[in-house]
Structure formats: C-alpha cells, structure tokens
A and B are shown apart, each in its own frame.
Chain A
Amino acid sequence: MSKILKKNYDLQGLEISRLAKITLVGKILPLGNLAGGPGARFIIILGFLHYFGYPIYWLLARFGHRVKILRQINARLRP
C-alpha cells in the first residue's frame, strides 16, 4: 500500500529523481525525443523543493518576517 502523492509532494513511481536518472541515461544513450529534457537547473530546484522544501518553508513561516532584509537584497540581485 502506498499513496499516489508522497509526503514531499512527489509522484509515486514518477519521482523527480527518476526523471533525473532517465535524463542522465539520455546523456549516454539515445532515448528518443525528450524535447531537450527537464533542464539541470530546473531538476535541481524542483528536487531541492521536494526533498528540503518543508524545513525551508517552516523556517520562513516562523521567522520569515525577520529575514525581510535578505529578500530585499535577493530581489535587487535578480536580473
């Protein structure tokens, strides 16, 4: 027995790690049309959010108002 959506909001049987793995195999073998793959940057961001998103958002919910200054700096640094 398992759940369709995992606790980290990843899909059971179609985890982001599996997407990354198939993409990696695609670097070695021709797999067919994956339209350029998911993109390394996006895989990293999505993987990070799936696996570490909860503690990050917990911290932000509790102390987010105290790191407002950091957000402002981040906003300025964005292109």
Chain B
Amino acid sequence: MKFPTYYSLASLIKAGKKKAKNKQVISFDLFDTLLIRRIHDPDIVKLPVARYISDLAAQQGISKGWQNIQQLRDAIEQRHRQETAKNFVDQEACYPHFMQELLEIIFQSKFNESLLQQVTDYELAMESTMLVPRQALVEWMKELAQTGKRIFVISDIYLPSSHLQRLLQQAGLNGFIEQVISSADTFFAKASGKAYPMIAEKFAISCQSWLHVGDNPVADGLRAAETGIDTLIIHDPREDQRKALVKRYYHYSEIKPLLRGRALQQLMAPLEGENRAVSELYVEGYNFLGPLIGIFLQQIRILCQEKKISKIFFLSREGWMFKQYWDKTVATLYPTGDLPETEYLYVSRMALAGASCAHQGLTKTNAYIALTPRGNRDFRDICRIFSLDAEKLLPHLVAHGLTTDTCLSPAHEGYRAEYRENFDALLLDQAFQDEVKRQTKGSNEAMQRYFTEAGLFAHENIAIVDIGWLGTIQRFLFEAIAHRPDCPNCFGMLFGAIRAIPYPEGRKNTIRGIMFDSQRFDLAGSTLYYAQDIFEEACRAPHPTLNGYRLTEEGYALEFRRADDASGLAEQEQDRYFAPLQQGILDSAEKFAAAAALLNFSFDDWKPWINFLFLSKLAFPHAREVANIRYRHHLDDFQGNKKPVAGAGKAFIPLWNQSPTQLKFNPLLRIRYFINHIRQRINE
C-alpha cells in the first residue's frame, strides 16, 4: 500500500491543497502533526504531575515520593492497557480511569472527585505549556474550514476527547474543528486501523472523500490507506533536528551542571508562530534577563519556606518587574499553592531616609551614607536626602562652627578634617537631634499608616525583595519601624548585594544577595559590578519615584516625584526605550515556569549557568549588546549635582562606557578589564 511522504510542511501543504479540492473531509493527526511538543519525550510532562500529586498528598499528611507515584501511574496505566486488549485490538487506556485509580490508591479515604479534577487541570495545563501549533498547518486548516470542508482531529492517546478539546482551545484551534476523536473514548485506535471505519460510520463520511494528514507511517499512513482514505505523511527533518537537540540538552544536563540552564532556555525558546522577528532588546529581555529573574524568584520562594515567611514585599520600583514575573510563574511552578502573600510596596531611599530619623534622629552612619555619592558635598545635600529644613537647623550648625554650605565631603574643594569633627559633634547635640525628629515625625507617621494598610505589621516574618545593591532602602525602612513592638522580622533578599557600606544586620533585620553577595567570593557573579544599573533600568516600574509620605486628614498620601521636568522626561524616554526589553522579560515568565517545573532543578543547579550569563553578557559582551542594553538615562535622586575636585578617584572608564569602536575592534579589551576586575576582587 503506497502513500506519499513529504519532507517539509510547505511541500505537504502544496500537495494537500491539490488533493483537498476533491475531498469533503480533512482529518489531522494531533500530536507531532497539528501540535508539536517542546520536549522530545512526552512522558517527561508526566513528572511535574507526579510531583504535584506528591505535594497534594503531603498536604493531607500522606508521605509518598513523586518517583513512587510515577512508577505507580505507569503500572496502573499498563494494567489498564492490558485489560483493554482483552476486548479490543488496540491496547488503549483512558486517563480519567487510571488517574482516578491512582489517586484512590494514594489518598484512600481522603480521595474525592475534586482531587481528580485538580490533577487533571494541572496535567492539561502542563501539556498545554509544552504544545505549540504548527503555524503553516493551522493556517491551511483554517483555509479549509473557510471553504466549507469538514475538519476532524484524530489522536491515539490516553486523553479523552473532552481533554483534547481543552488543549486545542488553549492553542486557539477549536473554532475550526467539527469533532476531536480520541482512542481513549472508544478504544478504537488508528494504530490498528479500527478507528477509521468507526469514524466513517459515526459521522457519515465516505472514505473516497476523506483526506488524512499525519506523521506516523503506519497509524496515519498505512492503516488509513488500507481503509481507502487518501493520506499525506509528514516527516520533517527540521523537527528531527530540534528534538535531537532538546533530547541532548536534556540528557547532558544530568551530567554537566552548566548545561542545566542551557536546557532550561532551550525548552523556554519560542517555536513556530511564537518565534517571530522581534527587536534585539526584546531578545535580551527574553534570553538574558528573564531567566535570571525567574531563577532569583525561585530561590526567594525556597527561602520563604525555610524562614517561614508569610508575606513578600516587592519594593518599588524594581519590585514591579519581580512581582509581575512572580504572578506569571506561580500557578505553574507551585500548583499546590502554599505561597506567601505578595505586595508591591511604594518606597524609595529618599522617602524612607527622612522617615528613618523620626525616632533615632540623624545617625552618623546615615549622614555619612548621604555624603558617599560624589555629587553630594554639604549639609544641604543631607537636608535634601533626609527631607530636613536647613534654615531651622542653622542655629545648631552655627553653634558648632558650621554653615549649610560647609564642605563635608573629602571629594570636594574646601574640605577640612575639622569640619567633619564639628559635624560629628553636631550629631551628638541633643537639641539638633530633637529638631530633626520633630521635622521627620510627620512623614514617619504617614509611612506607618501606609505600611499598616499594606499589612507589613500583620506578619511575624516578612521578605523584603529589592534589586540591590547596598541595602540602603531596607536599612532606612527597618530603622523607621524598629521602635514598634509589632515590628516584623525583616529578611532582605536582594538580586545583588554589593555591601560597599557595612549593613547593620541583627536578629530582626538580615539581608542577603541571591544572585551575588560580596560576602561570598564569587568571581563570575561579581561581574554584576560591570553594569549593575542596567538591571535597575530593566526592572524599573514605569512610574515616577516616591519622594515621601505625607499625613492627610484621611490618613496618608504618597508623594511622587514630578514627571514633567528634565529628569522626569528623560526617565520617560528611558522607559520607552526599554519597553521591548521589559516586554521580553515578562513574555519569558510563563515559558520559564513551564520549563523549570519540567526540569525540577534548584538554584544551586542553575548557578553555573547564571555565572555563564553574567560572564558572557557583562564581562565579555558583544559591542552590539553593549550598544543595545546600555541605558540612555538613569535617574539617581540620591546623587547631588555638585562637582567633585578633578582627579579625585576618577580616570577609570568602565568597560560598558567604552566607545563602540574600542568594543568592536580592540581584541584584548575585555580580557584586560577582566584581569583588572580579578585584581580588584582579590584586593577587596
């Protein structure tokens, strides 16, 4: 029996269009024909389902490992197939039947129908994330439907027709199909050829007017041809190549830890119609920043479990991206729930700096932090940062031989050591501190009202998630609420912790860098130093920064920075420039969740790949990547606009600030910078 085989979709569709003219009914095989799977082996999709059942069992107090559950599922399915074979030619199984039996065995008296529904929903959701419609075939199918042809989808699988319809619905294909037929409903399969006459009879189809398209030379080719149905078989070498690669990435990742992250990204990659031409910034968001954020948030969830943290506060403005990414991934990654609450908290260094003085006054450390940026010079800069009225504090300054313009920073002209000594004495002056507390009391009260409404004081342990780098926001935040008896234990989790200023950790206030922490020697991770601002800009929310909290009659008001001045407009321009990058990050979230759920690796497993991403993209970037990802504008309100003396700690031009010509044509530039970077890290 002969039937034509085609080696590309284009040639198959061309031949199909000719043949379809004389046909009334066109049927398609579903898996590997109309839909392709991201993963080479469909059985791998069952593994996250086994883990889900294991987690559900653990919630009911039943201890059962997911590997055991998977083995049990396979055994039950096998037995069901053997039972079917006693009455039918095909050895088919039906998912609801064997899954119910599996759940009954595991959950015993605790089993109920909703449990089966939950597991089915998750399995179909996982299947759905791994399935991609073949664009060219789908377009042809739509054309056929529009010309009045009857379209059927036929599959030999354990999922009944109702489940397949859900998969097709999620793929956006159900509108064109008259009927979806599964061997799980009737136990008549294409493999034996029994399905074809049954379908012809049930739907009153003449075999001469029927064209079937599939990938299996026996089930879709030979058996259909034997029944008198015209058939087209696709054997796409591109699909063979893709699956061969996915298979190898998957298997090699078990042996080579570095390839685990690569396997993750290979599974995350868009296929067929999803893989459209996009801007280079979008690609960077999808392929570089998206997976990093996903891994960062995965680790935060693990830490929340360890520390019994019941609420995560994503701090503005970078937390905006983290929260959105979190919301997009949790359903697939953690189907059993049991997750901490989340909240996007409006804070900023500037808003919290003032509020932090209401109870403790202006501390020496905090005042020195304000003088650290090279653009800050004098007491006016301190007043700007801590929202203080310099005029009302002037008598106290004068009493200590200072004025508001006395230079307090060694980076500026006019600095003298005795000014610092006078300033230290001022900070010990109780009258000065009382005035500072009086001035900042209102903003602290407003801040507390806002935090109370956000539920910050309703939890014993909270996570404070931010991009980094010094932990200044958490420092000010904790200092602003430390006086309260219901002050929660604050676990700071930063994307990267630089710790240039020692952080005052205590029992109730800790901080750690997840992707990089300068407390640990991590050479590859430390390449964050190369271009940490790009992470800030990539994650930053498209709203102005918070200037402060203000008391109102109703309670409090959040005061945002104006957006219509030069800095505000520059920031908006930056927002527009990075919009495709942010879209790429967000679009990668669901794919990341599906791939990570499938691979089930932990943060330690991903770490070598994180290191590779940092190294290749930050320390050894292509000139084009630097040109693309380098931000256009970066607003830092903390930084003043005073000019430091020339030559004071200057002269070093970071790699990312090098000219495109240098980056493109200087072959040893990156190596030189990296050697310098190693030297700096060793000397730290």
Contact = CB atoms under 8 A, between A and B. Distances in A.
Interface of A: 1-5, 8-9, 11-14, 18-19, 21-22, 25, 29-39, 42, 45-46, 49-50, 53-54, 56-58, 60-62
B238 A38 contact: no
Given A3-B275, A3-B276, A46-B252, 19 more contacts: A4-B269, A4-B283, A5-B269, A9-B241, A11-B262, A11-B265, A13-B287, A21-B620, A22-B612, A22-B620, A30-B523, A32-B615, A33-B522, A33-B524, A34-B608, A35-B257, A42-B248, A53-B245, A54-B241
B320 interface: no
A5 to B, nearest CB: 4
Given A3-B277, A30-B678, A36 B248 contact: no
Given A4-B283, A32-B525, A46-B249, A57 B620 contact: no
B32 interface: no
Given A3-B276, A3-B277, A36 B269 contact: no
B626 to A, nearest CB: 12
A34 B258 contact: yes
A40 B520 CA distance: 29
A49 B244 contact: yes
Contacts of B615: 22, 31-32
A12 B522 CA distance: 27
B235 A49 contact: no
A36 B287 contact: no
Contacts of A4: 269-270, 275, 278, 282-283, 286-287
Contact of A46 (B240, B248, B678): B248
B349 to A, nearest CB: 30
Nearest to A12: B283
Contacts of A3: 275-278, 283
A27 to B, nearest CB: 13
Interface residues of B, number: 56
Contact of A49 (B248, B284, B612, B678): B248
Contacts of B256: 35-39, 42
Contacts of B257: 35-36
Nearest to B269: A5
Contact of A50 (B245, B287, B617, B678): B245
21 contacts: A2-B283, A3-B275, A3-B283, A4-B282, A5-B271, A12-B287, A13-B625, A14-B262, A14-B287, A14-B616, A21-B620, A31-B611, A33-B522, A35-B607, A42-B259, A49-B245, A57-B241, A57-B244, A61-B235, A61-B237, A62-B7
B524 A34 contact: yes
A60 to B, nearest CB: 7
A2 B278 contact: yes
Contact of A58 (B7, B249, B674): B7
Contact of A22 (B526, B616, B671): B616
A9 B265 CA distance: 11
Interface of B: 7, 235-238, 240-242, 244-245, 248-249, 252, 255-259, 262, 265-266, 269-271, 275-280, 282-284, 286-288, 522-526, 607-608, 611-613, 615-617, 620, 622, 625, 671, 674-675, 678
B252 A42 contact: yes
Contacts of A62: 7
Nearest to B523: A32
Interface centre among A1, A4, A33, A37 (most CB of B within 10 A): A4
Contacts of A49: 241, 244-245, 248
Contact of B266 (A11, A33, A58): A11
A57 B244 CA distance: 10
Contacts of B258: 34-38
Contacts of B242: 9
A14 B613 CA distance: 8
B270 A61 contact: no
A3 B280 CA distance: 8
A31 B269 contact: no
List the 5 closest A-B pairs by CB distance, nearest first: A32-B524, A32-B523, A35-B608, A57-B237, A53-B241
A31 B276 contact: no
A19 B256 CA distance: 13
Nearest to B236: A61
Contact of B620 (A8, A25, A30): A25
A57 to B, nearest CB: 4
B522 A1 contact: no
Contacts of B269: 4-5, 9, 11
A18 B624 CA distance: 15
